[in-house]
């Protein structure tokens, strides 16, 4: 372990992975063997990794207290689970890496907090005439008003189960997320351009290295508590350059100040060299997003102008849906996924034509 691992610092990805502990679920090969066989089974398809939900940052080794990110505790996160369904519909095999207990594709339509399934079931008791000699149990049925929607979700769910095109993986902490992302991206690297990474999870920007964590529960009674945290390493860079070379990578940027979205998205593309940043603001994220990407002409000389006017090198396209209550039920993820699939197809064709 490097000597400086216990000082407050900016962790490079290498230092982070060398000093933080691999999660127990990655200590043996069981989980990653499952991931690798899923990828091998679908090697002729396009495969997308969808990350979803928020990460926690534990404050103690025997964790009682932790910080949570924009996550299931506030409102169920829907972007990842909804997008995964649309990718499946488009013929992708999906690795869905989500925060434990957060919404999942298909079952998200019947979430206990927004649409509890017990509310749309009915009990049909035996009719009076049959009572006495009829041994039938009461029947459970679905309310007529819910049947068409349930049938459609159930059909899609059963088809995905039969084809085995959905693999779900869970994380809780930022360590779980980063180690798992590294392993899964490396495994998907074998797919080259057919791999897509759709990074919608809300990942903590700061963490407490285990070398500075208290072993036991932090005790109160000593006045205020000060904790100095380190910056989580920017792992998009090694992901794009080393772990999944040739993959099509889409990251998300959430802001509350709309004016920051495009400049920060451009900066991220310039810094990490990936393909698209999807910008969204907290209050309009269900209705409006912006896709920021390098202009075709600047792809050839990427990073040629690191300090210049970035608007010359990147372009934006907005996706917006009607947010009025009278609008038909529509999910913005349907349009996002359609557009990404179109661009991913182009990406694959461009790579194949270079072979
Ligand atoms: O699931 P949801 O619609 O409530 O939220 C989705 C989101 C805002 C977490 C996602 O679109 C996003 O921007 N993820 C990246 C967050 C970040 O900048 O860390």
Does residue 79 have its Cβ closer than 6 Å to ligand 1? Answer: yes
Does residue 254 have its Cβ closer than 6 Å to ligand 1? Answer: yes
Residue pLDDT, tens place only, 86-129: 999 999 999 999 999 999 999 999 888 888 889 999 999 876 55
| pTM for this prediction | 0.92
pLDDT at position 131: 58
Does residue 252 have its Cβ closer than 6 Å to ligand 1? Answer: yes
Residue pLDDT, tens place only, 153-188: 999 999 999 999 999 999 999 999 999 999 999 999
pLDDT at position 332: 96
Distance 187 CA to ligand 1 centre (A): 25
Distance 164 CA to ligand 1 centre (A): 27
CA distance readout (Å), 1 to 6, 9, 176, 211: 10, 15, 20, 11
Please name the residue that has the structure tokens 């079952």.
Answer: 107
ipTM score here? 0.97
Does residue 280 have its Cβ closer than 6 Å to ligand 1? Answer: yes
Distance 255 CA to ligand 1 centre (A): 9
Does residue 261 have its Cβ closer than 6 Å to ligand 1? Answer: no
Q: What is the DSSP letter of 347?
A: H
Question: What DSSP line would sit under 185-235, residue for residue?
Answer: HHHHGGGGGGEEEEE--B--SEE--GGGSBSSPPP-SSS------EEPP-T
CA distance readout (Å), 189 to 165, 167, 284, 346: 18, 17, 34, 19
Distance 78 CA to ligand 1 centre (A): 9
Distance 159 CA to ligand 1 centre (A): 28
pLDDT at position 327: 75
The domains located in the chain, with CATH, are 30-113+157-214+228-353 (3.40.50.10300)
Distance 280 CA to ligand 1 centre (A): 8
- Nearest atom in ligand 1 to the alpha carbon of residue 77 is 1
* pLDDT < 70 stretches in the chain: 1-9, 71-76, 127-135, 297-308
Using CA atoms, how far apart are residues 125 and 338, in angstroms rounded to an integer? 46
């Amino acid at each position: 372990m490097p000597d400086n691992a216990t000082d407050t610092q900016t962790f490079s990805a290498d230092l982070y992975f060398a000093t933080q502990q691999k999660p127990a679920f990655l200590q043996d090969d069981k989980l990653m063997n499952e991931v690798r066989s899923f990828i091998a089974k679908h090697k002729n398809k396009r495969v997308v990794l969808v990350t979803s939900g928020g990460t926690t940052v534990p404050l103690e080794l025997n964790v009682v207290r932790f910080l949570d990110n924009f996550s299931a505790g506030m409102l169920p996160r829907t972007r990842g689970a909804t997008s995964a369904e649309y990718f499946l519909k488009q013929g992708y095999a999906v690795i869905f890496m989500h925060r434990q207990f957060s919404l999942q594709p298909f079952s998200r339509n019947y979430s206990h907090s927004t649409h509890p399934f017990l509310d749309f079931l009915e009990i049909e008791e035996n009719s009076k005439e049959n009572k006495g000699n009829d041994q039938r149990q009461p029947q459970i049925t679905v309310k007529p008003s819910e049947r068409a929607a349930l049938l459609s979700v159930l059909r899609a769910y059963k088809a995905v189960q039969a084809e085995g095109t959905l693999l779900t993986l869970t994380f809780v902490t930022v360590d779980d997320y980063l180690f798992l992302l590294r392993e899964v991206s490396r495994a998907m690297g074998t797919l080259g351009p057919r791999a897509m990474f759709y990074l919608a999870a809300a990942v903590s920007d700061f963490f407490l290295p285990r070398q500075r964590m208290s072993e036991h529960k932090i005790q109160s009674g000593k006045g205020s508590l000060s904790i100095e945290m380190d910056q989580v390493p920017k792992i998009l860079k090694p992901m794009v350059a080393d772990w999944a070379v040739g993959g099509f990578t889409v990251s998300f940027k959430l802001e509350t100040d709309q004016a920051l979205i495009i400049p920060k998205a451009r900066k991220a593309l310039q810094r990490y060299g990936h393909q698209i940043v999807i910008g969204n603001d907290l209050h309009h994220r269900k209705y409006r997003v912006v896709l920021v990407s390098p202009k075709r002409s600047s792809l050839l000389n990427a990073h040629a102008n690191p300090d210049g006017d970035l608007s010359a090198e990147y372009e934006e396209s907005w996706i917006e849906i009607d947010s009025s209550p009278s609008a038909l039920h529509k999910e913005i993820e349907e349009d996002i996924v359609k557009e990404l699939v179109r661009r991913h197809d182009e990406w694959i064709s461009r790579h194949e034509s270079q072979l």
